[in-house]
Copies of this chain bind each other. A is one copy, B any other.
Amino acid sequence: MKEHFRPVALEHASRLINHGPTVLVTSAAGAQRNVMAAAWSMPVEFTPPRIAVVIDKRTLTRELVMASGAFGLCIPGAGLADLTYAVGSASGRDGDKFARHGIVATAGPVLGVPLIEAGCAAWLECRLIREPHSEEAYDTCFAEVVAAAADDRIFAQGHWSVRDDNEALHTIHHLGGGNFARACGAFLAKTL
């Protein structure tokens, strides 16, 4: 695990994507691996930690996820926005995107999924829960989170800490067409 990355307790894993960041979906099967961007993911359960993510059935990622039964959700920081858009705009069938962009992958602790740490705020290693109908009708894949970790400069003790001094790790939120917003200006809501 890279410097600053620390394991996240599974009961806190849902918080990593609770606020709707754009994620990188990583996968591998046989000799192939891939990384794509996905704006459409969400938690669906706290305990056991479960998530849903939309993975188009025409993508290489979908093929690898179905073959391996596993994938990663890596949460890029703002410093990776250009890379996120790039891997969201090209297919892994046209060549290995890790190699093309010099992305270093580390193996997930439970399933060996390729995970990205450099420039990411966090990752979740996920085991697919087969749901053929949702996968077919809505491209929606459900999964259980089996391991998670985060960069302690922005997420520690189960909480995000979004500050002016860690802007490169702020999560990014795709508005469409390559336009992103950052999650910033964090505040605590008042009790009415």
Contact = CB atoms under 8 A, between A and B. Distances in A.
Contact of A84 (B15, B41, B187, B189): B189
A134 interface: yes
Interface in A25-74: 39-45, 50, 52, 54
Contacts of A98: none
Interface stretch (A2-10, A111-119, A176-184): A176-184
A58 to B, nearest CB: 13
A81 interface: yes
Interface of A: 15, 18-22, 39-45, 50, 52, 54, 78, 81-86, 89, 101, 131, 133-134, 138-140, 142, 158-160, 162, 170-171, 173-192
Task: Give the 8 A-B CB pairs with smallest separation, nearest first.
Answer: A20-B20, A19-B173, A85-B189, A181-B183, A86-B192, A182-B185, A40-B42, A160-B175
